A and B are shown apart, each in its own frame.
Chain A
Amino acid sequence: MTASPQTSGPAPGATRLVDLFEHGLDAPICLTWELTYACNLSCTHCLSSSGRRDPRELTTQEAKAVIDELEAMQVFYVNIGGGEPTVRADFWELLDYATAHHVGVKFSTNGVRITPEVARRLARNDYVDVQISLDGATAEVNDAVRGAGSHATALRAMRNLADAGMTGFKLSVVCTRHNIPQLDEFKALADRHGAQLRLTRLRPSGRGADVWDELHPRPEQQRQLYDWLVAHGDTVLTGDSFFHLSAYGQALPGLNLCGAGRVVCLIDPVGDVYACPFAIHDEFLAGNVRRPGGFTGVWRESELFRSLREPQTGGACASCAFYDTCKGGCMAAKFFTGLPLDGPDPECVQGHGERLLARRPKDRGHLPKPSGDHSHRTTPARGRGPVDVVLARRPDRDRPPVGDCVEHPLAGMVLPRDGD
Chain B
Amino acid sequence: MTALNLDRAWDLHPQVSVRPEPFGALLYHFGTRKLTFLKDRRLLAVVQALATAPTARAACSAAGVDDEDMPRYGQALAALTRSSMVVERNRIP
Query: Given known contacts A11-B36, A126-B30, is B15 in contact with A76 (CB within 8 Å)?
Result: no
Within 8 A of B (CB), among A54-102: 74, 76-77, 102
* Total A residues in contact with B, Cβ cutoff 8 Å: 25
B19: chain A residues at CB < 8 Å are: 27, 74, 76
B33 & A129 in contact (Cβ 8 Å cutoff): yes
Q: Bound complex: CA of A29 vs CA of B29, how far in Å?
A: 12
| Interface presence of A104 (CB below 8 A) | yes
**Which segment, of A13-21, A308-316, A325-333, A358-366, faces chain B?**
A13-21
| Interface presence of A8 (CB below 8 A) | yes
A102 & B17 in contact (Cβ 8 Å cutoff): yes
- Whole-angstrom distance between the Cβ of A337 and the nearest chain B Cβ: 31
B72 & A126 in contact (Cβ 8 Å cutoff): no
CB < 8 Å neighbour of B38 from A11, A102, A129: A11
Q: Bound complex: CA of A74 vs CA of B35, how far in Å?
A: 14
B35 & A8 in contact (Cβ 8 Å cutoff): yes
List the A residue with the shortest CB-CB distance to B75: A12
**Which segment, of B4-12, B51-59, B60-68, B76-84, faces chain A?**
B76-84
A20: chain B residues at CB < 8 Å are: 21, 23, 37
List the B residue with the shortest CB-CB distance to A237: B33
Query: Given known contacts A5-B28, A29-B26, A102-B17, is B34 in contact with A10 (CB within 8 Å)?
Result: no
Which of A11, A77, A127 has the most chain B CB atoms inside 10 A of its CB? Answer: A11
Within 8 A of B (CB), among A1-37: 5-13, 15, 17, 20, 25-27, 29
Q: Bound complex: CA of A221 vs CA of B35, how far in Å?
A: 30
A12 & B79 in contact (Cβ 8 Å cutoff): yes
CB < 8 Å neighbour of A126 from B15, B28, B73, B79: B15
> Chain A: interface secondary structure?
loop
B76 & A11 in contact (Cβ 8 Å cutoff): yes
A10: chain B residues at CB < 8 Å are: 36-37, 39
List the B residue with the shortest CB-CB distance to A255: B35
A7: chain B residues at CB < 8 Å are: 34-36
B35 & A11 in contact (Cβ 8 Å cutoff): no
B30 & A6 in contact (Cβ 8 Å cutoff): no
Q: Bound complex: CA of A113 vs CA of B35, how far in Å?
A: 30
List the A residue with the shortest CB-CB distance to B84: A8
- Whole-angstrom distance between the Cβ of B22 and the nearest chain A Cβ: 8
A6 & B37 in contact (Cβ 8 Å cutoff): no
B15: chain A residues at CB < 8 Å are: 126
Q: Bound complex: CA of A7 vs CA of B29, how far in Å?
A: 10
B30: chain A residues at CB < 8 Å are: 77, 104, 126-127
Q: Bound complex: CA of A17 vs CA of B24, how far in Å?
A: 11
Q: Bound complex: CA of A129 vs CA of B33, how far in Å?
A: 9
A6 & B76 in contact (Cβ 8 Å cutoff): no
Interface residues of B (CB under 8 A from A): 15, 17, 19, 21, 23, 26-28, 30-31, 33-40, 43, 72-73, 75-76, 79-80, 83, 85
Interface residues of A (CB under 8 A from B): 5-13, 15, 17, 20, 25-27, 29, 74, 76-77, 102, 104, 126-127, 129, 168
| Leading 9 A-B pairs by shortest Cβ distance | A12-B76, A13-B39, A76-B28, A74-B19, A5-B35, A8-B34, A11-B79, A8-B83, A7-B35
Identify 14 new A-B residue pairs, CB closer than 8 A, beyond the known A11-B43, A17-B35.
A5-B35, A7-B35, A8-B35, A10-B36, A11-B27, A12-B40, A25-B26, A27-B19, A29-B26, A29-B28, A74-B19, A77-B28, A126-B31, A127-B30
**13 residue pairs from A and B, CB less than 8 Å apart:** A5-B35, A6-B33, A6-B35, A9-B36, A10-B37, A11-B85, A12-B72, A12-B73, A15-B23, A76-B17, A77-B30, A126-B15, A126-B31
